[in-house]
Amino acid sequence: EIVMTQSPATLSVSPGERATLSCRASQSVISNLAWYQHKPGQAPRLLIYSASTRATGIPARFSGTGSGTEFTLTISSLQSEDFALYYCQQYNNWPPGTFGQGTRVEIK
């Protein structure tokens, strides 16, 4: 099973600042990686798939980069609605499609 490791566990950022979230895979997942945003009591929301493709309706301030084992989600200018949990998920090896443990983006 591929292990996904996200860092940091918590990221404290001021509104308007840039946030950079990392996700590392224990072996190559090529570009088969997705990012999700999750707020308490809500459905998780797909942000990015294929490592760098924004899902429908996702603002341009969200961007994904990387391939192989190292991936990054960048939020260029944090808005109030962006404070949430973020998960990466690999879907190169199946089953299962493993998730990282999450990064919490909180208001500084």
Partner 1 sequence: EVQLVESGGGLVQPGGSLRLSCAVSGFTFSDHYIDWVRQAPGKGLEWVGRSRSKAIGFTTDYAPSVKGRFTISRDDSKNSLYLQMNSLRIEDTAVYYCARVVAVAGAGYFEYWGQGTLVTVSS
Give residues with Cβ within 8 angstroms of 54, minimum separation 6: 47, 48, 60, 62, 63, 64
Q: How far is the CB of 74 from partner 1 (least distance, A)?
A: 19
Residues that bind partner 1 (CB under 8 A): 32, 34, 36, 41-46, 49, 55, 87, 89, 91-102
Q: Which is nearer to partner 1, 36 or 77 (CB)?
A: 36
Q: How far is the CB of 52 from partner 1 (least distance, A)?
A: 13
- Which residue is it, tokens 């308490």? 40
